Chain A
Amino acid sequence: MKINFLTKSEDFTSERLGSVLSDHEVATDFNSIGSEDILIVDISLLEELKEHFELFKKHAKNLVFVSTSNDYNIKYAFDILSKSAPPYHIVGLNSEVCLDKVAELVNSILSKSPLNLSDMIGAYKDNVEVKIQDSSKISETIRDTLGQIEFDNCFSQIKDNLSQLINELLYNALFNAPTDDAGEQQFLEQDRKDHVSLDEGKAATLKIYNSEDRVFTSVLDHYGSITKEVIDAHISKNEVSDKAGGAGIGLNLIYNNSHELLFVVEPGVQTEVISVINKYKRFKQNMKHVRSFHFFIKE
């Protein structure tokens, strides 16, 4: 088993990647790729690699796209990959952080153990946690919850961004996630003006950890029904849907308001969506940060 790395970046080289993945062989071509091998691809090479899209599709879960430039538009990558090889993992930022992140991700894929909130927050345990059963309480819950948190040393827009992000995450958890015994989505097409109430044991859980440099938001539902196909179809969508139910652009808003976005799905059991926002002093830095994306299926 080896790690295949393709890049044209002068900063983010295979030698440097090899230095943080010293236990593994890092190769720089796509020859003789084994089924368990990991592919790491510089996203700015996508146009040149179109002939490999079938290979990408075959190795989708072991394929990590890395954005080595702040200028590269990740949404463009989603758009060109969406039809043939929708990405499971994109890592943003051209920095040491990126290198460490890729190493962390490679180890996670190899151990078949998804990245998780506990590891991400480390020793930081101060958080707000609330359960939500009733969709009519979403706005009030967000106001109360964010009202308890101080976001010092950070661009002021973060509260509005978080408010929108959490709103979309909770609506997804209460309207899109619930399934009946036959596995059919119960409230998918329900008018959002009509509220839903879940059984107590099925209530969604919202957690917010506000550390010195990042804000972690997690929303967990007890259904595990979201699929990769739904995410691929909506994450870069910017036209509202006329269909009954949601507007179809919520996932795009969630992605746009996150610096890292993770879906960890245990099919039929639960989905946890984790959003990480870096607390920059300047809004411009917040805009520039390339957005990372991960989709894990917990087996």
Chain B
Amino acid sequence: MPSVKQKSLEIEISPCDGGNEFKLSGEINEDLIVDELVGFKAGVVKVDFENVKMINSCGVREWIKLMEALANQGSKVEYYNCPQIVVQQVNMVTGFVPEGGSVVTFYAPYFCDDCEHEEKVLLVSNELDGREAPELKCGKCGSMSEIDAMEDVYLNFIPE
């Protein structure tokens, strides 16, 4: 499994059905070198954001350049395991998800009113009823907990 080690970000690249999976660890910032991540076999690129700890504005710019380069080589991009900081960019910055790309899974904060337990729950975009997040069982006390975000803002990236 090839691994691209950059200054602030490590990218493990492995083949997957129809293309490649990019597993990211670290920070997406100005040190992202786009050229090292293009040129792989075109097809689907599954990006796993699970271990992305930080993203700054220069990182957003480099990321958009990478997405444009992947689109130019004919790749279709899918985002997985997006933490809140990535969801924020998805909703806020034009082009963060490239044309034809999608957010497949993402984390959402959930809060239980009964025991005040907060947890990050992985949601699957196409299992939601539009921009409505389901109530789920609290991981601590078993009561029902609800999404701890303004749904129309946090789930804005999901088509209505």
Contacts and interface: CB of A to CB of B under 8 A. Distances in A.
A71 to B, nearest CB: 10
B84 interface: yes
Contacts of B116: 281
B111 A283 contact: yes
Interface-central residue, B29, B54, B56, by most chain A CB under 10 Å = B56
A250 B149 CA distance: 23
Contacts, number: 90
25 contacts: A139-B29, A139-B54, A156-B109, A157-B109, A160-B83, A160-B84, A163-B53, A168-B56, A193-B30, A193-B31, A239-B94, A239-B95, A240-B94, A246-B58, A247-B57, A247-B61, A249-B92, A250-B56, A256-B92, A281-B111, A282-B118, A283-B149, A284-B111, A284-B149, A287-B150
A155 B93 contact: no
A171 interface: yes
Interface in B29-63: 29-31, 53-58, 60-61
Chain B, interface SS category: mixed
A206 to B, nearest CB: 15
B21 interface: no
B94 to A, nearest CB: 5
B54 A163 contact: yes
A258 to B, nearest CB: 14
A22 interface: no
Given A164-B85, A283-B148, A241 B111 contact: no
Interface of B: 8, 27, 29-31, 53-58, 60-61, 64, 83-85, 88, 92-95, 109, 111, 116, 118, 120, 147-150, 153-154
Contacts of B53: 160, 163
A139 B8 contact: yes
Which are the 3 A-B pairs with shortest beta-carbon distances?
Answer: A192-B30, A247-B61, A250-B57
Given A193-B31, A239-B94, A247-B61, A287 B54 contact: no
